[in-house]
Amino acid sequence: MRLIYPGPAGNSPPDLAGLYAYPAHAEAGRPWVRASMIESADGAAAVDGLSGGLGGPADHEIFGLLRALAGVILVGAGTVRAEAYRPARVAARWAPLRAGRPATPPIAVLSGRLDLDPAGPLLAGAPAEARTMVITAESAAGDRRAELARHADVIIGGEHEVTAEAAVSALARRGYREILAEGGPYLLGQLAAAGLIDELCVTISPVLAGGPGGRIIQGPVPAPGGAASGAQASRLSLAHVLADDHGYLLCRYLRTG
């Protein structure tokens, strides 16, 4: 990979861990929420319903790095099911980035219906030091909560419904300041509507997907007149762009202000 923006000084390989390091003030203020997604050159978030058809070696490398840097990974239950999530793994080359923390970051699943497999690898196979968390509402079925609690930490994030904003607050109360949100689009839409996305890392894949691929962020339903109900547009500034030899662009944006 090569750094193409801002212009590189010389031809040395970019310091990837340095480029993607969380800001120091994330430890002192509210959690820093980094969203990570991939989209096709024509704006589709998936091919045949899965994001995996868009990826390549460079995207996989940064995906692994972002997980190694994160304190916790936040993901929606629909994405967990569609993408067959498993506990996170950190490559040996990124292991030093976990110094002083569990060897792998835990995964926190936002789920209202608790439609998760308690015996599946994500819940039953997570290491004890990075136990999977399930964030749900008080109104969720008590028997399902008890069943999942045998394998995961069940966290109540609201009385009748659980939102992405409540999930971030619940994770903050547990001491997580560096949150990596991996989707899906509706989870990121809630985070965006609440003004909680501090950073967006998006890979542009050299693929024309066509079809009903959807967008990487699905916001509230547009209100009459075109304005998105409950949402507020956020300006972003471009921090850097990486490119590989296969046509992938890896962009990192920061929310202005």
pLDDT tens per residue, range 161-174: 889 999 999 999 99
Residue 116 lies in a domain: yes
Whether 9 maps to a domain, the answer reads no
Residue 124, pLDDT above cutoff 60? yes
Is 219 or 81 the better-scoring residue by pLDDT? 81
Interval 7-58: pLDDT, tens:
866 678 899 999 999 998 766 668 999 999 999 999 998 887 777 788 899 9
Give a yes or no: residue 140 inside a domain: yes
The pLDDT score that the predictor gives to residue 9 is 65
State which residues form the domain around 67: 28-219+231-244
Structural domains in the chain (count): 1
Whole-prediction pTM? 0.91
Q: What's the pLDDT tens digit per position in 186-222?
A: 999 999 999 999 999 999 999 998 877 788 998 764 4
Q: How far is 154 from 176, CA to CA, in rounded Å?
A: 16
Average pLDDT over residues 97-109: 97
CA distances from 132 to 63, 87, 102, 237, 243 (A): 19, 8, 13, 33, 33
Residue 2 lies in a domain: no
Does 72 fall in a domain?
yes
pLDDT at 231 over 60: no
197 lies in some domain: yes
**DSSP for the chain, written as a single string:** -EEEESPPSSSPPP-HHHHTPPPGGGGTSSPEEEEEEEEETTS-S-BTTBGGGG--HHHHHHHHHHHHH-SEEEEEHHHHHHTT-------GGGGGGGTTS-SS--EEEE-SS----TTSHHHHTS-GGG--EEEE-TTS-HHHHHHHHTTSEEEE--SS---HHHHHHHHHHTT--EEEE---HHHHHHHHHTT---EEEEEEES----SS---S---SPBPTTSPBTT-----EEEEEEEE-TTS-EEEEEEE--
Confidence label for 180 from pLDDT (cuts 50, 70 and 90): very high
Task: Please check the confidence at residue 230 and state whether its pLDDT lies above 60.
Answer: no
Whether the per-residue pLDDT at 244 is higher than 90: the answer is yes
CATH number at residue 159: 3.40.430.10
pLDDT at 229 over 60: no
Q: What percent of the chain has a predicted confidence (pLDDT) above 90?
A: 71
Residue 53 lies in a domain: yes
Q: Is residue 103 part of a domain?
A: yes
The predicted pLDDT at position 28 comes to 65
Among the listed ranges 153-167, 194-208, 239-253, which one has the minimum average pLDDT value?
153-167
Task: Please state, rounded to an integer, the average pLDDT across all residues of the chain.
Answer: 89
